[in-house]
Amino acid sequence: MPTNKLCTRRRVLGVAGSAAVAGLAGCTGSGVGGAAEDAESTATAEEDHQDGGTATEHHDDEGGHNEEGGHDETETESGHHDEEDGHGHDETVGEPTETAEVAMLSTDDGEHFEPHVVRVTVGGTVTFVNESGSHSTAAYHPDNDQPQLVPDGAASWDSGLLSESGATFEHTFETEGVYHYYCAPHETMGMIGSVIVGEPDAHDQPALEDPPESKPEAVRTKIAELNEMCNEALGHTH
Ligand SMILES: [Cu+2]
């Protein structure tokens, strides 16, 4: 089956990806020192609502070792979750809903979209809310001079820079499929997220191919991680 071939490739890619994770270390150097405490509690809260006990406890113990940017979010997440239960990430991607909200954050762990993957129905709307720092959300779409990591024929979007806390940007998704998007100032720090629209066939998504060769390793690693999460949400796991 072509399925097996695809998945084997992905697994190999995953391994290569973790080896390259070191390239991400230090990307948080732009983190604002004063925000460290807030960010720490945010990160803790985020862990709290996942699937209960275990992760929360040791996370608390570790708190405070990461203000200098040495802490690598990507490594931590893929490390402990992959082994636990086959779930690629602490976020659970549910069934499609009509609307979803994504926060844009700057923390001492780096800059990121939260949650990393959201899911809406066809015709559903995602609202991006700038919570801290200055960010943008833009589709990996040729209209944005990017490789196409959205469904064929899908509309593009680009919010431009949102600098005020509480600023929002909405996009309505009319084409079913998997979309990857990025924050222009922080793409190379791994600030990349995904939207799953409807019930797409995972085998038929440009976004879920191998990450584009043209991108730096840090970006490719993040996209590979998102691909795993999206595949899992779509039941494409082996
Ligand atoms: Cu950003």
Which CATH number belongs to the domain containing residue 134 in this structure? 2.60.40.420
pLDDT of residue 93: 85
Q: What is the total count of domains within the chain?
A: 1
Domain that holds residue 48: 1-238
Burial status of residue 185 (CB atoms within 10 A of its CB: 0-12, 13-18, 19 or more): middle
- 6 CA to centre of ligand 1 in angstroms: 31
- 187 CA to centre of ligand 1 in angstroms: 7
Which of 88, 173, 91 lies closest to 139, judged by CA?
A: 173
**Residue 80, φ and ψ in degrees, nearest 5:** -80, -20
pTM: 0.65
pLDDT, one tens digit for every residue, the chain (238 residues)? 444 444 444 444 444 444 444 444 433 444 444 444 444 444 444 444 444 444 444 444 444 444 444 444 444 444 333 333 333 445 788 889 999 999 999 998 889 999 999 999 999 999 999 999 999 999 999 999 999 999 999 999 999 999 999 999 999 999 999 999 999 999 999 999 999 999 999 999 999 999 999 999 999 999 999 999 999 999 987 6
Tokens (6 digits) for 93: 């991607």
- 143 CA to centre of ligand 1 in angstroms: 20
User: Is the CA virtual torsion 20, 104, 77, 68 positive or negative?
Assistant: positive
- 103 CA to centre of ligand 1 in angstroms: 10
User: What are the pLDDT digits (tens) for 89-116?
Assistant: 457 888 899 999 999 999 988 899 999 9
